[in-house]
Amino acid sequence: MTTEEENIDIEELIKSTWKNSSNIDESDFPGLSMTSIIEISDEQCLNNIPLSVKNLVLIYNEVGAWFINLAMLLVNLVMNDKKPIHPSIVNLMCMSGLISSQIIAIHRLITFGLDVQSKQLLRVLTEQVDVAIALSIKPELSSKFSLTLDENTANSFWHQNISRGKLRKDILKYLEISMGPESARKMILYIKQEEAILGMGIHPSLAAAQMACLPATGKSDEPFSFGFLGKPTVYSERTIKYSIFYLVLYVAIGFVPERIDIDNANPAMKLIGPLQDHVLHGRSVILKLAAKLFENQYHNNFNTKFDKIKSEFGL
């Protein structure tokens, strides 16, 4: 805004525009103002999250905290001036930061009852996690990713390496080769099934519009609510569970602690020790939590299966 525009009283401008356009003063304001709408939304959402969703959010928070600690650790490492940092670490730092911001955004959407919007963002997140995994298991991709600094190079990289499920196919193939076709089958089927649901949410459809407008909870005693104002329901269980699953894929097969040169860090950066401890020890915590969460779905242990994958590919 220009200096002249900054001096305008915007609130007064809105009131006078309403009055001049419809001869309505502030006391007779029709319908709902955005302030009133947000108040209704907050009242509808806060303290109304189903217990099953709250419990899943607790696990989601552990996974999210791990990514944010990783991003902070890498930022601290890249900022030190002892010696140049390899471009692959810079790529990992930026991707982990991007994923961390998506994790926070999805958390806010779910806890405020905007499940369709959280599904739409989750679709974006899974693609970003694919890239983060690929940067680890396909090192030759890292140099190409380093060049994606404007809209042309970014679009070219996406079309050549990501579009039409190119990276996803590679990741599913790694799972199948390492775990064996039968063991990987349910996991791959789960990914494809959930991605189809996310696709319906991100593309214009009546089903997604209905869910956003009038979410049905399946409980006859539930009061009527407008879904587009935010309404936490049990339908978010599916969104959170798949969020956890896909983020854990990176923790399991994309994260390679040996490639993070902690010895290169500036010892004056006091944060590095606690951040490193959280990242290194938190990995086993997250895999154990995921194993517990999905044990009935896959009847195997995430730690065992993912450790086998990593050893197969020398990670």
Please list the pLDDT of the chain residue by residue as tens digits (315 residues).
565 666 789 888 888 888 888 776 666 677 888 888 999 888 888 778 899 999 999 999 999 999 999 999 888 888 875 667 778 888 999 999 999 999 999 999 999 999 999 999 999 999 999 999 988 878 889 899 999 999 999 999 999 988 888 888 888 888 888 777 877 888 889 999 999 999 988 888 888 888 888 776 555 566 677 888 888 888 899 999 999 999 999 998 888 776 666 555 555 555 678 888 899 899 999 999 998 898 766 544 455 555 554 444 444
Asked if residue 74 is part of any domain, the answer here is yes
Asked if residue 19 is part of any domain, the answer here is no
The continuous run of DSSP H or E covering 309 comes out as helix 302-312
List, in order, residues 6 or more apart from 260 with CB less than 8 Å away.
Answer: 73, 74, 77, 89, 92
Asked if residue 30 is part of any domain, the answer here is no
Q: What is the pTM of this model?
A: 0.86
Asked if residue 36 is part of any domain, the answer here is no
Nearest to 112 by CA among 215, 202, 23: 215
78/153 Cα distance (integer angstroms): 24
Asked if residue 15 is part of any domain, the answer here is no
71/68 Cα distance (integer angstroms): 5
The C-alpha angle 271, 277, 282, rounded to 5 degrees, equals 130
| Dihedral sign (CA 172, 175, 178, 184) | negative
Q: Which domain holds residue 262?
A: 42-312
Q: Domains in the chain: how many in total? A: 1
Asked if residue 82 is part of any domain, the answer here is yes
What are 127-182's pLDDT values in tens digits?
999 999 988 878 889 899 999 999 999 999 999 988 888 888 888 888 888 777 87
Asked if residue 147 is part of any domain, the answer here is yes
Nearest to 253 by CA among 165, 209, 313: 313
Could you tell me what percent of the chain has a pLDDT over 70? 82
Asked if residue 6 is part of any domain, the answer here is no
